[in-house]
Amino acid sequence: MRVAIVGATGAVGHELMQVLERSSLQLDELLLYASPRSAGKELTFRSRPHTVQVTPEGPIAADVILASAGGSVSKALAHRWAEGGGVVIDNSSAFRYDAGVPLVVPEVNGEAALSHQGIIANPNCTTAIAVVAVAPIHRKYGVKRMIVSTYQATSGAGQKGMDELLEQTHMVLHGKEASHHEFAHPIPFNVIPHIDAFQDNGYTKEEMKVVWETHKIIGDDSIRVSCTAVRIPTLRTHSEAITLELERPASPDEIRALLAEAAGVEVRDDPAAKLYPMPLTASGKYDVEVGRIRESLVFDGGIDLFVSGDQLLKGAALNAVQIAEYLQTHGALKSAQRA
């Protein structure tokens, strides 16, 4: 099988290569694409140098095309890439809300991937991390309302976001004033309740993505979802405080037992031992950490919990590769035309 990465030099591209090295995909050849700025650059995969090429504007001769070069690039080119016969698994928001494009988290709605027409969308990172924990609860107890407050790492803005955190922190520590390019305000020693553009209803687009994408992935528009999305000065891994109102009451012990069996989840919940989800422990991990599971003081029989999930992995690269693995396991990967 031949796999292509579009956006190979970016933060998610880097993680895609790491995840592919450990993946069960029967990968024979890897093609790497980025902008003309990176053409000719060499990246190492399976201990061998691979040359980065300029992203094609026409069909890509690969069975799986993992795209993470931003929404405008995908919007303009993804349909053309898929004309090579392979499937595009797109990390941007360009196609997530299109009716004919499945939006997939394999643990939750893997079967949706099987009905693709050339493009499968990888969800927004915050939503992907949340639904891994919330979908099993919804299946058993029925989620009526879901209130989310996020603590999102700078990795959500790509490599440039992480670089800005490090560089600007260095500036501040040396008595200089921090500037900002990737974020609405300086990020060091700050917390910014503004990710993506404000919408007419006062929510940001990032917050509305959590609403729209939770509905599409779980397949239930009746869940009332509200989100406050906040950028914090960490390098990677998003955390989220989630409050759930349930149709059928559940105790914290029942939720702990349910999530202990759930795919993609690691229950990390022993406050007496100072064990709970944190970016420091969840970074680099495939599973989403879930903890601080307790009874809601607001909704009778409801639940409060806290999750930390690596945005670059389950929120992006890992989920994309898991979609490809799901297609392979179900015999649904077509062979692309060879150039």
d(CA 121, CA 75): 12
Question: Token digits for 69?
Answer: 């070069």
Q: Which residue among 18, 53, 149, 159 contacts ligand A2P (CB under 6 A)?
A: 159
70 binds ligand A2P (CB under 6 A): yes
d(CA 329, CA 338): 22
Output 159 or 296, the one with its CB closest to ligand A2P: 159
- Is 291 annotated in a binding site? The answer is no
Cβ pair 196, 205 in contact under 8 A? yes
316 binds ligand A2P (CB under 6 A): no
Q: What is the DSSP letter of 270?
A: B
35 binds ligand A2P (CB under 6 A): yes
Instruction: Tell me the window of 24-32, 66-74, 93-101, 330-338 that interacts with ligand A2P (CB under 6 A).
Output: 66-74
Secondary element (H or E) of residue 227: strand 224-228
d(CA 312, CA 326): 19
CA angle (114 as vertex; 126, 136 as ends), nearest 5: 45
Output 11 or 82, the one with its CB closest to ligand A2P: 11
Q: Which residue among 3, 11, 288, 323 contacts ligand A2P (CB under 6 A)?
A: 11
- Could you confirm whether 227 is annotated as catalytic? no
d(CA 92, CA 65): 13
Instruction: Tell me the window of 34-42, 181-189, 202-210, 211-219 that interacts with ligand A2P (CB under 6 A).
Output: 34-42
Output 34 or 225, the one with its CB closest to ligand A2P: 34
204 binds ligand A2P (CB under 6 A): no
What type of residue is 98?
D
Cβ pair 83, 58 in contact under 8 A? yes
Output 43 or 133, the one with its CB closest to ligand A2P: 43
Catalytic residue among 125, 174, 181, 227: 125
Question: Token digits for 99?
Answer: 């009716």
Min dist. Cβ of residue 186 to ligand A2P (A): 19
Question: Token digits for 153?
Answer: 């790492």
- Please name which of 292, 298, 198, 194 lies closest in space to residue 240, comparing C-alpha atoms: 292
Any bridge partners for residue 265, and if so which?
288
Q: Which residue among 2, 3, 4, 13 contacts ligand A2P (CB under 6 A)?
A: 13
Instruction: Tell me the window of 155-163, 243-251, 276-284, 315-323 that interacts with ligand A2P (CB under 6 A).
Output: 155-163
Q: Which residue among 3, 7, 66, 133 contacts ligand A2P (CB under 6 A)?
A: 7
Secondary element (H or E) of residue 4: strand 2-6
Positions touching ligand A2P (CB under 6 A) are 7-11, 13, 34-35, 37-38, 55, 69-70, 73, 158-160
Known binding-site positions: 9-12, 37-38, 96, 152, 155-156, 231, 311
Active-site residue list: 125, 238
